[in-house]
A and B are shown apart, each in its own frame.
Chain A
Amino acid sequence: MVFRRIILGLAIFAFAACAPAGSRKNSIQIKGSDTMVNLAQAWAEEYMEVNPGEFVAVTGGGSGTGFASLISGTCDVAMSSRDIKKKEIALAGKRGVIPNEIRVALDGLAVVVNPANPVGKLTMDQLARIFSGKIVNWREIGGTDEAIVVLSREVNSGTHVYFKEHVLRRNDRNNKEEFAPGALMLSSSQAIADEVAGNPAAIGYYGMGYISKSHKPVAVAKDADSPYVEPMIENVINGSYPISRPLIVYTNGEPCGLVAKFIDFALSKEGQDIVLRTDFVPVGQ
């Protein structure tokens, strides 16, 4: 009970801080999606350069962590790589927080394998069957006779949730497909990158920004009759790459004061140039 009261107090405090009376506050706390940490950090650095005396702090932790902090009032902006859940909206309402959604960039999710793996293209259906554990050997999809090591992000990751809903369940609400119980749950995109780089039998997914020479991105087709498309920025912009998602920031109500200024900066020409530079895809183009 005491705990709840403290959280409520913090929420009220955060709310008050955003009102015009509290405009003396000169720092913003941004928290959430690990996918967006690098992007937000780049924005923050550029922003602080143009606006000396104002501070922007960025921390990761996962989209869910961002929402939890926004709701408990410990951050001003929550970064998320998935939509807010109904439960989270309800909880926010109880604490007097009104989540306000702003799309700031797009992200293509790349499915990657080790460069030594002969498999280089897969259909969405094959991906769903690999990650749900129905295809268990690379031989079944034209590779070598080796067990597939499925890598996934932890459940606190927006990328995990997005991949489950859009690849495993094909956006079908009634589809109850799950990740294979034997899938390795790794705590960061970097951990997935490392394991794929060192393991010829591994397959994993992460934001396009992590693609490097030590991984091979898989070209993906919507279905067996469609062309296979590489995960590249052009292909995400023209909509031909099938696994892309919006990157979103949430504020408590309409942004005001410093928060509004920062978000305007993120959506400006300079802000969107930074998006491109950090290997994401700009919005509104």
Chain B
Amino acid sequence: MRKFREFIIEKLILLCGLASVFFVILIFLFLLREGFSVFQTASPKEFLLGKSWYPISEPPQLGILPLILGSLLVTAGAAVISIPIGVGCAIYIAEVAPKRTKEILKAGIELLAAIPSVVLGFIGMVTLVPLVKTLFHLPTGLTALSGSIMLAFMAMPTIVSIAEDALYSVPKTYKEGALAMGATHWQAIWRVMLRAASSGILAAVMLGIGRVIGETMAVMMITGNAAIIPHSLFQPVRTLTATIAAEMGEAVIGSEHYFALFAIGIVLFVISFAINVTADLFLHKRQ
């Protein structure tokens, strides 16, 4: 009887494990089937490298190059802002902060992670956007820069908590050894701790970036959504995610536009899959 129960439970857990893989495969197949239909109207080259996105015109122009570049630009901007701050914050929490400060900081970062992105977007729209406009004398504050700053806030919790974890798991003896050799506290952190935790920190950065590139609501509210090829951070951009979110409601099911949005989904899937795999490689290297 006991053995039988054990057997049932084991199989149930196995089923749970398989279910998640099964759903990923189903989603991927659905994406592929719907997305690839777009290539009946536009060649892969036209689709990926086309410079005009006018999906509801007759005939539709389905070039997503401005959208890809928009997503990459906003993500790069967010990375430049969030990586130094995030890693710095992680070092402070793991190595420098007294216990009490550490607890408060950690709670604060968890709180930051708990703010829904639509709320961050709304706050950005009423505070950050006018600020960016006046600060840089721009015609409008709805720019890639505003999006990058807001997304940096969203990437920060991921980067801080995983990087802190990586630093924490470096054996204490490393640091003690460095200090015993006469290194200052800073030298020990910079030359020893950071090097030892580097793969974990890189994984943290990758996961943070993964979060940023998939973010939708906040960027849709504050980046202006103009489908142009951006030349600087001070221009409006339209990201892949915002395009899907803004247009899915309108797209006539079975139209070129509808398939094109699924194809954008494939592009996004490929990008975030690549980022996650890279992060995973770094994490495994560490172990």
Which residues from chain A sit less than 8 Å from chain B, CB to CB?
61-65, 67-68, 71, 85, 87-88, 91, 146-147, 149, 154-156, 161, 176, 178, 181-187, 191, 194-195, 198-199, 201-202
Question: What is the bound-complex CA distance between A186 and B142, given in angstroms?
Answer: 10
Does A184 contact B249, Cβ atoms closer than 8 Å? no
Digitize B208-251: 1 where CB-to-A-CB distance is under 8 Å, 0 elsewhere. Answer: 00000000000011001111100000001010000000110111
B229 nearest CB neighbor, chain A only: A181
Task: Kindly identify which residue among A65, A147, A194 contacts B250, using a CB–CB cutoff of 8 Å.
Answer: A65
Q: Are B226 and A185 in contact (CB-based, < 8 A)?
A: yes
For residue B58, which residue of chain A has the nearest CB? A176
Chain A contact residues: over half helix, strand or loop, or mixed? mixed
Contact residues of B: prevailing secondary structure: loop
Contact pick for A87, options B130, B224, B252, CB 8 Å: B252
Contact A198 B252 (CB under 8 A): no
Report chain B residues within 8 Å CB of A181. Answer: 52, 66, 226-228
Kindly provide the distance from the CB of A86 to the nearest chain B CB, expressed in whole angstroms: 10
Nearest CB in chain A: distance from B28 CB, A: 15
Q: Residues of A contacting B57 with CB < 8 Å? A: 176, 178
In the bound complex, do residue B52 and residue A186 qualify as a contact, i.e. CB atoms below 8 Å apart? no
Residue contact A91 to B253, C-beta cutoff 8 Å: yes
Task: Given A195-B142, A199-B133, A202-B140, decide whether A155 and B250 contact each other with a Cβ distance below 8 A.
Answer: yes
The 9 A-B pairs with the shortest beta carbon distances in the complex, nearest first, are A64-B250, A156-B250, A65-B249, A185-B225, A184-B224, A154-B246, A181-B228, A149-B139, A149-B140
Q: Which of chain A's residues has its CB closest to B134's CB?
A: A198
Partner pick for B55 among A65, A68, A71, A155, CB 8 A cutoff: A155
Given A155-B55, A195-B142, the answer on whether A186 and B249 have CB atoms closer than 8 Å is no
Can you list, as one digit per residue, whether each of B54-76 has a CB less than 8 Å from chain A (1) or not (0)?
11110000000010000000000
6 A-B residue pairs with Cβ-Cβ distance under 8 Å, sorted by A, are A68-B250, A178-B57, A181-B52, A184-B226, A185-B225, A185-B226
B140 touches which of A85, A91, A178, A184 (Cβ 8 Å): A184
Q: Is the CB of A186 within 8 A of B225?
A: yes
Bound CA span A222–B225, Å? 30
Q: Is the CB of B250 within 8 A of A62?
A: yes
Q: Which B residues are CB-close (under 8 A) to A155?
A: 55-56, 246-247, 250
Chain B residues with CB under 8 Å of A91's CB are: 252-254
Q: Is B169 an interface residue (CB 8 A)?
A: no
The smallest C-beta distance from A146 to any residue of chain B, in angstroms, reads: 7
Which residues 37-64 in B have Cβ within 8 Å of A in the complex?
Answer: 52, 54-57
